[in-house]
Amino acid sequence: MHDQERPDTLIQDSLAQAVLRAYREGQEDEALEPIVAVDDAGRPVGRMRGGDYVIFYDIRGEREIQITESLIRPDFPHFQVEPDTALKFVTMIEYSKDLAVRVAFPPQGKIRNTLAEAVTGAGRGICKIAESEKAVHVSYFMNGKKEDAFSGEERIVVPSPEGVASYASCPEMSACQVTDAILGKLQDSSCSLLVANLANVDVVGHIEDRKAVLRAVEAVDGELGRIVDACRSRGVTLAITADHGTVEDWLYPDGQVNTGHTRSEVPFVLLGFSREIPEDLRVRAEGELSDVAPTILELMGIPVPGEMTGQSLLEARGSESAARDRVLLLILDGWGLREEEHGNLIHEARTPNFDAVWQTFPHARLQASGEAVGMPPDTVGNSESGHLHLGAGRRILLDRVRIDQAVADGSFFQNPAFRWAMGEAKRDSRALHLLGIVSHYSSHGTIRHLFALLRLARDMGLEDVFVHSLIGRRGEKPESGAVYVSKVADMCRSLSVGRVVTVMGRFWALDREENWDRIEKTYRALVQGEGTHVPIQGTFARPMRN
């Protein structure tokens, strides 16, 4: 899934060359400052202008909402926007039901009877706790992409550290405060199910800083110890799991650092503190993430909905089969299992608390990648699909697979939303802008979908097609962004349609925590042409107005 680096001499596109120069100056993919194409007179070209059409082809959604709002709302409140932008907008999937856009692949139906819905429907209280970096995962994704909380569902969001350039400087993040909130909520007997996420291993694992990663793993392990002690003292059953792996497989075979997710299994450990004889509990040795929700419901004495096709991991419950346990489901975000020690930072870190519970209590290894979480075979897991399946209790075919199938069977090229945007752009002599991630495989999208859109634009006879590329090294080798930008430029040349006119790190565009300064930087690059200017060959019909 990872592209080999290409020598600089093979990268001919001027914007890709500009990315390489940025690397030499110390920048990296994820936070790459915006690079903007200009004509011979130094005027930015291919900017988004009033009346133009935009297809935002990212597929995840929650990180795409803020930049979309800034581009479509004339009354956008967070910074000054051009009064006449009025872009005609298509999104690949539904990012939010409140966005006034056309959606190419709308939801196929609601995911009903998730874990939270089953618990609250039985009249039991549920509370979800996470720091802001992962709040959307335990809420929106675990509830089957439902934004609103159920009646009886409480959500506690602990702010992630603010004003830091990188979590490498504070790999402990807000884990201590998350644990404090957990311990406080354990005292509330009206809360029958507590779901909590410790974000550090995943978030810091995306940073190429070995010492910071080790500190993040050890911070999570330290908080785990506090949580185990609190559950034991209050008689609350503790179920420990993860949504996907990361730093347990931190090195590629050639020794380069892999900052992405992995295909590893993840743990499931059951600490039956609410019962007198924990040894009565046994679990299957193997399973998948969709088995967790039925397991939790069985522990709580709540009927498992028919929609949940996952299978409970419990093999035997001993003499207390009718017990109505209070349960804490603790998600150690990014904590994978891997026997090999080389490149395994979880093994390298000091983790006495996790080691103790793994050795002492019933446990299983769960599949958390590929088809087990609704993705193509042999693909890595991610937080979105992981939490979705933890909450849904069944396999959910992800949007990526739907779209891949549409490309393969040709229905992608007949999609009404795409054909509307392209047909109207041609009729009105307006530009078409293709905005999104450029990566072979990212949870946010793939260049294969961009290439399909370029082929459709060629077939429909469009002339002014501009590509705005977001790059970010997660699961990619160092400096992979320049390779992908070059690949897109090569495809544009081979199809004789389109031109890459903007490149920037995903850090600026894909925010979900109302860091409006980042979104403003993205907006000013896309609309006003602010950034590092790079002259490119060729003429464009829509230079920036003076």
What would the pLDDT profile of 145-194 be if each residue is shown by its tens digit? Answer: 898 999 999 999 999 998 887 899 999 999 999 999 999 999 999 999 99
Query: In the prediction, which pLDDT does 539 show?
Result: 43
Query: In the prediction, which pLDDT does 108 show?
Result: 82
Query: In the prediction, which pLDDT does 74 show?
Result: 86
Distance CA 379, CA 394 (A): 18
Which two tokens mark 79? 């910074």
Query: In the prediction, which pLDDT does 473 show?
Result: 64
pLDDT(320) > 70: no
Distance CA 172, CA 220 (A): 8
pLDDT(475) > 80: no
The bridge status of strand 314-316 relative to strand 363-367 is unpaired
Query: In the prediction, which pLDDT does 278 show?
Result: 52
Name the pLDDT band for 323 (thresholds 50, 70, 90).
low
Query: Smallest Cα–Cα separation from 469: which of 442, 491, 500?
Result: 500
Output DSSP code: residue 283.
E
Mean pLDDT over 515-524 rounds to: 96
Lowest mean pLDDT among 256-260, 311-315, 418-422: 256-260
Kindly report the average pLDDT of the chain as a whole number.
91
Query: In the prediction, which pLDDT does 147 show?
Result: 87
Query: In the prediction, which pLDDT does 252 show?
Result: 85
Delineate the domains of the chain, giving CATH numbers in brackets: 16-106+401-535 (3.40.1450.10), 115-158+169-395 (3.40.720.10)
Name the pLDDT band for 474 (thresholds 50, 70, 90).
low
Distance CA 400, CA 374 (A): 9
Distance CA 171, CA 218 (A): 10
Mean pLDDT over 534-546 rounds to: 55
Query: In the prediction, which pLDDT does 166 show?
Result: 85
pLDDT(318) > 90: no
DSSP for 231-266, written as a single string: HHHHT-EEEEE-S---GGG-B-TTS-B--S----BE
Query: In the prediction, which pLDDT does 210 show?
Result: 95
Q: Which residue has the higher pLDDT, 354 or 478?
A: 354
3-state secondary structure 506-540: HHHHCCCCCCHHHHHHHHHHHHHCCCEEEECCCCC
Name the pLDDT band for 109 (thresholds 50, 70, 90).
confident
Distance CA 46, CA 58 (A): 20
Length of the chain: 546
pTM score, whole prediction: 0.78
CA geometry: angle 217, 288, 307, nearest 5 deg: 130
Q: What residues pair up with 502 in beta bridges, in sequence order?
A: 36, 468
Query: In the prediction, which pLDDT does 546 show?
Result: 31
Query: In the prediction, which pLDDT does 441 show?
Result: 72
Output DSSP code: residue 160.
P
pLDDT(541) > 50: no
What would the pLDDT profile of 387-438 be if each residue is shown by its tens digit? Answer: 999 999 999 988 888 999 999 999 999 999 999 999 999 999 999 999 999 9
Distance CA 469, CA 435 (A): 6
Distance CA 296, CA 192 (A): 11
Q: Which residue has the higher pLDDT, 30 or 363?
A: 363
Residue 543, C-beta contacts closer than 8 angstroms, at least 6 positions apart? 39, 41, 43, 44, 45
Q: Are 471 and 33 in contact (CB under 8 A)?
A: no
Count other C-beta atoms under 10 Å from residue 539's C-beta: 8
Count other C-beta atoms under 10 Å from residue 419's C-beta: 14
Name the pLDDT band for 10 (thresholds 50, 70, 90).
very low
Name the pLDDT band for 107 (thresholds 50, 70, 90).
confident
Distance CA 214, CA 203 (A): 12
Alpha-carbon torsion (12, 14, 19, 22), positive or negative: positive
